[in-house]
């Protein structure tokens, strides 16, 4: 009788253990699926982060180049006033009319630079300008993107 | 009496559990991601500058300049700056232009980053 009880108890225990194992297996399978999904999502996030980082680097590079041209434009402007100890006041006294013409031309060019900086479209002549005589000397980098200054 | 008690017990059970038969439907809560509306402003309208005529006036040509102004029907008055201040004015204008360009470029870069790469959150 006791052996029969032990046998039944043993079989029942084994059955319960198998059922527990099956339940564990199902849980582990579900976990596996969730982990795989999480890994795929993480990979997507990492790819997006990489793409964002590259876009930020590219944007930074462009803005740094732009700021570099600003400094050069300002230096060029100063040079036009002071090159070879040039005194614009003295020159205006000696050659009033020609300096007036130059100043008005410069003013016109500077106004065009402001228009372009505010988003105006380039004219065909501005885009085609490759010679020094064709460019807007107030802001060549902005006005004449195809002009490569001779170094 | 025995049957009555049985019926009463059964009726009591039905009364207590009746509402749970069939049961309330389970509420399902799900969320749908609604993308944020784009701030779709057009880019600022480009400026259209008006032309300014500079007149250089010296002690020698002053009379001639004022005479020409009067002949052209313009008030014979000029708002003057020295050659040094002219240089400063040119530099100030160049800096304003550069700031405008920088701001416009930043705006374009932001637009590109948040609209092209889908980082609109």
Q: What rounded mean pLDDT belongs to chain A?
A: 91
Residues 6+ apart with CB under 8 A from A77: A138, B90, B91, B94
Placement of tokens 């300002």 in the chain: A74
Nearest-CB residue to A70 (from B60, B87, B98):
B98
Q: Which pLDDT band holds residue B2 (cuts at 50, 70, 90)?
A: confident
The structure tokens listed for B1 are 């009496």
| pLDDT the model gives residue B23 | 59
| pLDDT the model gives residue B91 | 93
How far from the centroid of its chain's Cα atoms is residue A134's Cα? 31
Q: B121 pLDDT exceeds 60?
A: no
Q: What rounded mean pLDDT belongs to chain B?
A: 86
User: In terms of DSSP H, where are the helices of chain B?
Assistant: 2-17, 62-71, 83-116
| pLDDT the model gives residue B44 | 84
CB–CB contact A115 B48 (8 Å): yes
Q: B68 pLDDT exceeds 90?
A: yes
Q: Which of A3-7, A18-22, A100-104 has the lowest mean pLDDT?
A: A3-7
Q: Which pLDDT band holds residue B73 (cuts at 50, 70, 90)?
A: very high
Q: Considering chain B, what percentage of its residues have pLDDT values greater than 70?
A: 88
| pLDDT the model gives residue A41 | 93
CB–CB contact B97 A139 (8 Å): yes
Q: DSSP 3-state assignment of B91?
A: helix
φ, ψ of residue B43 in degrees (nearest 5): -65, 150
Residues of A with CB under 8 A from a CB of B: 48, 51-52, 55-56, 59, 62-63, 66-67, 70, 73-74, 77-78, 81, 87-89, 92-93, 96, 99-100, 103-104, 106-108, 110-121, 138-139, 142
Residues 6+ apart with CB under 8 A from B94: A73, A74, A77, A110, A113, A138, A139
Q: Tens of pLDDT along A22-80?
A: 999 999 999 999 999 999 999 999 999 999 999 999 999 999 998 888 888 889 889 88
The CA-atom distances, in angstroms, between A147 and each of A17, A98, A141, A142 are 82, 27, 8, 10
Q: How many CA atoms lie within 13 A of A57 on its CB side?
A: 6
Q: B71 pLDDT exceeds 90?
A: yes
Q: Which pLDDT band holds residue B31 (cuts at 50, 70, 90)?
A: confident
ipTM above 0.90, yes or no: no
Burial class (CB in 10 A: 0-12, 13-18, 19+), A140: buried
Q: How many CB pairs under 8 A join A and B?
A: 115
Q: B9 pLDDT exceeds 90?
A: no
Q: B24 pLDDT exceeds 80?
A: no
Q: Tens of pLDDT along A117-146?
A: 999 999 999 999 989 889 998 888 889 988
Q: Which pLDDT band holds residue B21 (cuts at 50, 70, 90)?
A: low
| pLDDT the model gives residue B77 | 94
Task: Find which of B44, B45, B49 to mutate to test the A interface (most A CBs within 10 Å of its CB).
Answer: B49
Q: A151 pLDDT exceeds 70?
A: no
Three-state secondary structure of B20-38: HCCCCCCCCCCCCCCCCCC
């Amino acid at each position: 009788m006791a052996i029969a009880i032990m046998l039944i108890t043993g079989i029942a225990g084994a059955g319960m253990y198998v059922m527990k194992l099956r339940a564990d297996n199902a849980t582990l399978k579900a976990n596996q699926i969730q982990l795989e999904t999480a890994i795929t999502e993480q990979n997507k996030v990492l790819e997006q982060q990489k793409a964002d980082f590259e876009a930020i680097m590219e944007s930074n590079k462009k803005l740094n180049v732009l700021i570099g041209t600003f400094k050069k434009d300002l230096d060029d402007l100063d040079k036009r006033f002071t090159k070879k100890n040039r005194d614009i006041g003295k020159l205006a006294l000696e050659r009033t009319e020609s300096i007036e013409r130059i100043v008005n031309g410069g003013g016109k060019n500077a106004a065009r630079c402001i228009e372009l900086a505010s988003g105006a479209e380039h004219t065909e002549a501005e885009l085609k300008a490759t010679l020094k005589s064709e460019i807007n000397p107030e802001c060549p980098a902005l006005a004449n993107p195809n002009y490569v200054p001779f170094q | 009496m025995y049957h009555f008690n049985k019926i009463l017990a059964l009726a009591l059970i039905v009364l207590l559990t009746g509402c749970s038969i069939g049961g309330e439907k389970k509420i399902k809560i799900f969320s749908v991601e609604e993308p944020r509306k784009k701030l779709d402003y057009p880019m600022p309208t480009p400026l259209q500058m008006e032309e300014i005529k500079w007149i250089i006036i010296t002690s020698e040509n002053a009379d001639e300049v004022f005479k020409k102004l009067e002949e052209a029907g313009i008030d014979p008055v000029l708002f003057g700056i020295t050659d040094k201040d002219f240089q400063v004015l040119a530099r100030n204008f160049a800096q304003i232009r550069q700031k405008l360009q920088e701001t416009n470029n930043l705006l374009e870069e932001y637009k590109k980053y948040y609209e092209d790469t889908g980082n609109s959150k």
